[in-house]
Amino acid sequence: MEIFLRDRNPKVVASWRHFFGRGAKVDIAEGEVLELEVSALVTPLNSFGLMGDGLAQELNRLAGGNLEARVRKMILDRHAGELPVGTAEILPTGLQHPSLVVLAPTVRVPATMQANANVNSFLSTRAALRAVAAFLRSGESKGGISKISSVAFVGMGTGGGKCPPATAAFQMYEAYCQVVLGQVPNFATIEAAVAHDQELRKNRFL
Per the domain annotation, does 206 fall within a domain?
A: no
List, in sequence order, the alpha helices (H) in 49-119.
54-62, 67-79
pLDDT tens figures, 139-149: 765 555 568 99
**Rounded Cα distance, 154 and 41, in Å:** 9
Residue pair 118/128 in contact (Cβ under 8 Å)? The answer is no
DSSP designation for 150:
E
Q: What is the DSSP string of 23-59?
A: T---EEEES-GGGS--SEEEE--BTT----SHHHHHH
**Rounded Cα distance, 136 and 148, in Å:** 7
Per the domain annotation, does 191 fall within a domain?
A: yes
User: How crowded is residue 32: how many other Cβ atoms within 10 Å of its Cβ?
Assistant: 12
pLDDT tens figures, 60-98: 999 999 999 999 999 999 998 889 999 999 999 999 999
- Which pLDDT value is given to residue 205? 80
For the cut 50, the answer to whether the pLDDT of residue 51 exceeds it is yes
**Rounded Cα distance, 121 and 160, in Å:** 12
**Rounded Cα distance, 121 and 85, in Å:** 9
Quote the domain boundaries for residue 43.
2-201
184 vs 88, higher pLDDT:
88
Per the domain annotation, does 182 fall within a domain?
A: yes
Per the domain annotation, does 157 fall within a domain?
A: yes
Residue pair 165/205 in contact (Cβ under 8 Å)? The answer is no
Per the domain annotation, does 179 fall within a domain?
A: yes
pLDDT tens figures, 125-137: 999 999 999 998 8
In order of 39, 147, 184, the CA distances from 96 in angstroms are 8, 13, 35
**Rounded Cα distance, 6 and 28, in Å:** 6
Number of domains in the chain: 1
Say how many residues make up the chain.
Answer: 206
CATH of the domain at 57: 3.40.220.10
Per the domain annotation, does 43 fall within a domain?
A: yes
